[in-house]
Structure 1
Amino acid sequence: MTALEANFDGLVGPTHNYAGLSFGNVASQNNAAAVSNPKAAALQGLQKAKALADLGLVQGMLPPQLRPDLASLRRVGFAGTDAKVLHEAASHAPQLLNSFSSASCMWTANAATVSPSSDSANGKVHFTPANLVDKLHRSIEPGQTARILQAIFKDPAHFQHHMHLPEHPYFGDEGAANHTRLCHQYGQQGVELFVYGRKASQANSPAPKHFPARQTLEASEAIARLHQLDDRYVHYIQQNPDVIDQGVFHNDVIAVGNQNVLFYHQQAFLNSASELALLQQKMQGDLHLVEVSTEDVSIDAAVRSYLFNTQLVTLGDGSMALIAPSDCQENPQVYQYLQSLPERGSPIKQVKYFDVKQSMQNGGGPACLRLRVALTPAELAAVNPQALLTDDLYQQLTQWIHKHYRDRLCATDLADVTLYQESCAALDELTQIMRLGSIYAFQR
């Protein structure tokens, strides 16, 4: 069966700001309280998505969620008019206001885990939104994420949507940031690689000591069951606890895969040699393991540059390209390695650099901004067409961003009811552009 891989990028929301909410994410914490530029952030992400579409890849867009999330603020006891709710939250619980104003849903690698129809027993594309229980500001996302995915992938003949896992650390789930599908062709049976940080059911098993392990083995196993995956084509591997403690909060900060290529750091996994040997067997001996040594690139350099938070994509001629942040060019150690990468004998033949600094300063690179969905032609035809990036949609979204987004935002602005009203107006117009229906109604 023929199929392709589509990337669905998250549009950066109007409240993009730096509140340092993500303990364990070095960039997020280092840039706390900096002044952000939501307009530049949204344009940078959109331009990166358009560049991939211009390369001939199928590119989709996912809308932002409504922020500040007044429904969540009211749920925890703030009452009255919109202006009063924001004022009271800012006065008495500013951390809550920061959390419920976060534009973190822009990182759609955390939106869900997706399994294609060729891997599932019932021949449908499966979606499970991530519960994101480890971080308060992200834990409010799953319900809205589900509505967005259901509005874009609507046809039950092709798509099956699951509720997010129970909201407890036992089932801590961070979505596709800890999931990689390896295959020979997108439409063939693949091997789904789940990377976890800890075993919730085994208190004495290896785990990081300083930063949290956000993904549990038990969550990954539950998703594999929900998606009706064949155990023979599923592999679980534990992330190295030591690299989590060095700021590698998700697997996509230390490894990225595409088709039969896995690009990863030498220190990425626990019991790396034996586990990757098993993965190689499941890939019938045809897996290109592109390992980056600590001597070539240190963990610190990898985290600061987001060398592995890159998109690895297959181009029309069958070769692969790495879509990297411009920060990789600015790190001498990383840039030197990437300059030599096309000559190292792997299918990765070129590197393309993009400025996504507004996202990078909050701890998310090119790979964070996209959710990968492998689709057959019939499944692609069933996707909401207004979610697929065309020249026309790109122009509409560019104009929409210029019309509705501020070019400067600081923490005190979050309490301004005008910002909330601007966000509501922006998303109301976006639902018309993308024909998304009433997906924001429950948040009002």
Structure 2
Amino acid sequence: MTKFKQKIAIIFSVLLMMSALLAAPLHAQAATASIDAKAGIAVDAKTGQILYSKNSNQVLPIASMSKMLAVYLILKSIHSGQLKWNQRVHVNAEIAKISQNTELTNVTLNQSRTYTVRDLYKAALIYSANAAIMALGIAQAGSSKAFVNEMRTQVQKWGISDAKLYNAAGLTESEVGSEAYPNTAKNAENEMSAKDVAIVASKLLQAYPEVLQTTKQMKAWFAKGTSDAVEMTTHNYMLPGQADYLKGYEVDGLKTGTSDKAQACFTGTVKKNGHRIITVVMGASSKSNGNARFTNTQTIMKTVYTNFKPVRYKKGASLKRVTNFKVPDGKTTTVKAGIAHGTTIWVAKNQSANAVRFNSTQIQKKAGVAAPVAKNQKLGTATAQIDGQNVLYLQKKDAQITLRAKTSVAKANILVRLWRSFVGLF
């Protein structure tokens, strides 16, 4: 009977431990998933919160994912009026030669013809046409070198310091002939980390979301009605109706990349349940097995949406632990704070919003906020923590949540302020 009781006790103890493990919240802030790739990352497209990461700081070749940065600059020029959609573009002899290299992805460009900015733009995004994006870069900046200089300047403005950029297309320098950047090795090609690529993709989507209207297209004609006409087919096999489409995940972008050094890469994006994420997979497989980048992307996307849920904070919402700021010389000695912009913080599926805590940095820490305080005046910033750990973001500034005054506070009269000072002595 004693042995039986011991067995029952052991079984009961095991069941208790198992139930405790099942009930325990998922503390990891970034999802864990096994992918067969050199590097990868998943982030919230708006906030930059990191939801998955593998070797995301390692600088690697990015091949045609480079075109996202080039397209950002082209769209920037179009929005500023520097370029027009219907503007005709001439191509030089070297660009025409590159376009006729059958070992590269291209649409044929002819020196005797001109092409619209719109046609070249669509060819670059849908078909990953290398000469097309280089022709756009020259049309925008005047030369390939000048355009690459703009690319370098732009990533520096975004805080990306370890990128290596040589041409708009992501080809090796030997493949672009005389359009190569001066004094670079022939085997040099563009390199960034997965985190860098995610920053570029997020900046592109935030500034020019209309890019998705092009990247979601599976087919389009180039130079229709001419001898160079070609019906372009997307290389993004995760789009609806394609071989690697994942039911329930309506992928609508962004850009593939393939080279001997980069192997198969893919920057993807999907909006599910009202929340968009960006994924990057780098070095997924050899060029001959390009689908691995898509199956790895599927794994990351499913892992994020299965294991995490977004907690939404509306504009003006008060955050726990940073609700009030001191106003020592105000008519009222505190002012309520609200967030300047709506934001989202992802938590584990089995966690509640209470798992998120906030810490604030007040503009004037010791003295408090000086009166008078105007409504919507910036009071400071807040950062989020989950289970005592800082929430991870693409960039440090992404973690900063701006806090503004929800009401105005007038300055107290001199007698009140003197009385407060006197009472403070005791």
TM range (shorter): under 0.3
Q: Which has the higher contact order (CA 8 A, sep 6+)?
A: 1
Choose between structure 1 and 2: higher helix proportion.
1
Choose between structure 1 and 2: higher strand proportion.
2
